[in-house]
Amino acid sequence: DEAELQVLLSGGTSGGPPDLQKFPKDLLNTKQLSRVAQLAALPNFQSLAEHMSSASAAWKSFLEHPLAECCIPNPWKDNGHEVSDEVLCWRSLLIVNASRPDRLLAASRTFIAKVLGEEALHLPDPDLATIVDSSPAWRYTFLLASGAGFDTSGRVDALAAARGAKYTALAMGSPEGY
């Protein structure tokens, strides 16, 4: 659901201000309350406030648990609709994002393993030498993109030095500008 993805990526819905009155005040801090209320504005999460009130002990345990992604209460159990494990895992990811963002990375790993398989979490680092060797011999042009703090130029320098190869590096958007 695109609206659910938007909530995950931005932390809120595009609708008006959330209705905070439905939620138990003793469970959530102000930021959690706002984010969970935004989530509850989505069709698949409309029973969230009611479930948090009726199963407050389970929610309290989840909110305080050091591995919260392992004990997410399931507000979809008794709604009469079958929900696949993948959908349940996606919805759980959204709940973690809204209420326990400190555990989002761990919940994301669980989601990836459920949808793509455990092996997707254990992909080897790309081997630059293998990539170069499998490219056409007449031309080597590579574009390496990395996020701030993850400069890959050292790997290129090391490969070029090991092979005695000359190359020209061009940095775009780099503060170093080399």
- pLDDT per residue as tens digits for the range 84-112: 889 999 999 999 999 999 999 999 999 99
How far apart, in whole angstroms, are the C-alpha atoms of residue 33 and residue 35?
Answer: 6
CB 27 within 8 A of CB 59: yes
On whether the CB atoms of residues 96 and 107 are closer than 8 A, the answer is yes
DSSP percent split of the chain into helix, strand, coil, nearest 5: 55, 0, 45
pLDDT at 14 over 70: no
DSSP 126: P
pLDDT band per the 50, 70, 90 thresholds, residue 79 = low
Give me the pLDDT at residue 69, please.
Answer: 93
pLDDT tens-digit readout, 95-154: 999 999 999 999 999 999 999 999 888 878 778 888 878 877 666 677 777 776 777 778
Please tell me the predicted confidence (pLDDT) of residue 92: 94
